[in-house]
Structure formats: structure tokens, C-alpha cells
Amino acid sequence: MKVARRGFLKGAGIAAGVGMAAPAVAQALPEVKWRLQSSFPKTFDLLYGGAETFARAVLDATDGKFQIEVEPPGTVVSSLDALDAVQKGTIEACHTALNYYWTKDPTFALATAIPFGMNARQQNAWLYHGGGNELVNEFLRDYGCIAWPAGNTGCQMGGWFRNELKSSADLQGLKFRIGGFAGKVWQRLGAVPQQTAGSEIAQALQASTIDAADWVGPYDDEKLGLVTAAPYYYYPGWWNGGEILHLVINFDKWNALPKQYQAVATSAAAFANLDMQARYDAANPGAIKRLVAAGAKLRAFPQEVLETSFKAATELEKEIADTNPKFKKILDAYVVFRNDEYLWWQVAEYNYDNFMIRQRAKG
């Protein structure tokens, strides 16, 4: 894979795009060593692997001159303190989901995923060509950071439930392992958000400490053994239509880089973004087959639950926007872009996918 990636990167212009071949860059520019902490444990190889893909691409494109050491959470700080460590300059960079920091400002959620947001492809269009990443970086300047998309899980699953859902009435008092911005929406639906470490989810479900739990999707959920703890596997994860992960860099450290290295890092982040999505798309089909074979009962959220959830999410976003101008600025632009994307999606993309899904069902 290393050779293939290097060939791809050079062909895509990571080295050539800075106006010289990689060996010439290596000869002309200094050796740089950075530390990058991931917010994701090594156990979840695709999430953690996004940072490794980025670092390897940078190393290859600079013939080893720009070295980035990737470290798991806890090496320097906890998963949820990675942004703070970058902001302070304790480490140069982190690979994280910016919505982890939504309690600092709900605007962080808009950088990663919001309930009933865009899908992964639409998000890429928004970030790369719709002004989205410029808006995110404008917001991050207050935190002394700059960021680029560097991974996406695609649409996530809605989680594992001990009991079947018939209507939104079943959400009343539901102890649901979910956090962040989405947890606030579920709270409005009558659920009781719970904070449970990933390694403890299965045990908490089995002990009835929680009634349901959200994680990621088939490939990652399988690793936690959740199918043995709760039978009903709901979809879609309407609060994560496509979760964007970001490479976050200290702004002063970024500005100190040679321009050629900045170009390499920007392109390597884009490659990591593409690669993670492709890896999830390749891994999830086999995983969901195995989960169903192991007893998972796939269920779609009832339409009434989706409608009620959409209303609650929209109301919450409006309330926040009314008091938070930073949130409002990005949300307003995001919603306009999302509406245009789905206007196009309903024409060709949706109809093509819908037809092919029905053909597959026919065998």
C-alpha cells in the first residue's frame, strides 16, 4: 500500500503540485518533526488509520523530510482534550471530530455533522467548493488552529436497542448512550442521554443500565460485540449523515512550515479524507452481513420518529442561531447548500440508487 499511495500522491500532484519533483523538494527543504495525537483508539483501525494515512502520505511525498509521529489518545492528553493541546502548542496537530468540542461552542458541531445534515459526498462539495472549510477555519482562528477534512465515516447507523421502537412515545425515558449535539435533540424527544465509554457499552446494555447505544456503524460496532447485548439495530443515524473528521493544526506551527510542506499536508489530508470513506464503504457490507448472521435485527426508524426528530433538531438549531452569531453564520450557509444538493440528488443520484437497490432485491 505504501508504494501505491506514493504513486497516487505524486500522480495527484502532492509533490508535483508544489512545482518540483519530490526528490528536489527533499533536497531543498529542511527536516521537520511533528507530533499528532489521534482522538481515536488504535482498536478502531479505520478511524485511527486516518491519521496514519495522512502522516505516511506526507512522509512519502517529502522523501522522509517531513516526519509526523502519530500517537493514540492518552499519550499526551485525553481524546477530548486534543484540540486544547494543539491550541496551546503542546502538540502540533491532532486528528479528531470537531463536534467533540461542542460544549465550548455549538458551532463546532457544524464542522463535523449535525442532525439531518448532508451526506458524505455533499459534505465534500460543501467543504471543498462551497466555502464550508473557509467558514470552519474562520471560526477556528479564535482557537489558534487551522483544519482540513481528513476522513469521513459515511452515514452511520442509528444504534442498538434492547426493545423495538414503534413510535416516538417509546423514546420517553429511554436511556440512550449518546452525546454531543445529537444528545440534546434526543433529550427533546424524551430520551435520557447517557455517557458510557465505548468499552463498557455492551456490558451496560446487558445489565439494563442503558436501553440503547449509538456507536458508528457495522465495521466498528462489530468490534464492540454489541450484537450480543441488544438485538435491534436501527438505521439511519440521522444525526450523522456523514461524520467528517478533521486534521487540526496549530496556526503558528502551520505558518512556520515551508509553503511546499503546506501544499503537501493539504493534499495528504484530502487523500486521507478520500481513503477513509472508501475503506468504510468496502468494510461495512461484510460486517453487516456478519452481524445479521449473528442475530442482529435490522430496523428502520419509524417515519413518525424521523419526522419528530427533524422538527426537534430544526427547532434546537434555530434557538442556538438566535443567540450565537458564529453558529448562525455557518448554519445559514450550510442549509442553503444542503437544500440545493438535495434538489439535485432527487433527480439522478436518488433515482439511480433506488433502481439499483430494487434490482439487487430481485436477485
CB of 187 closer than 8 Å to CB of 325: no
Per the CB < 8 A criterion, the answer to whether 168 and 189 are in contact is: yes
Q: For the sheet containing 244-250, what is the strand order? A: 66-71, 32-38, 93-96, 244-250, 145-152
pLDDT at 28: 77
Amino acid identity, position 156: Q
Q: What is the mean pLDDT of each run of 10 residues along the chain (363 residues)?
A: 41 40 60 98 97 98 97 96 98 97 97 97 98 98 98 98 97 96 96 92 96 97 96 98 97 97 98 98 98 98 98 98 98 98 97 96 89
CA pair distance 66, 291, nearest whole angstrom: 41
Q: Would the pTM of this model clear 0.85, i.e. be above it?
A: yes
pLDDT at 35 (0 to 100): 98
Domains of the chain: 2-154+241-282 (3.40.190.170)
For residue 330, count other CB atoms closer than 10 A to its CB: 22
Residue 244's SS3 state is: strand
What per-residue confidence (pLDDT) applies to 27? 60
Asked if residue 193 has a cis previous peptide bond (ω within 30° of 0), the answer is no
65 in Cβ contact with 265 (< 8 Å): no
177 beta partners:
194, 213
345, 284, 153, 33: CA torsion to nearest 10 = -140
pLDDT of residue 134: 98
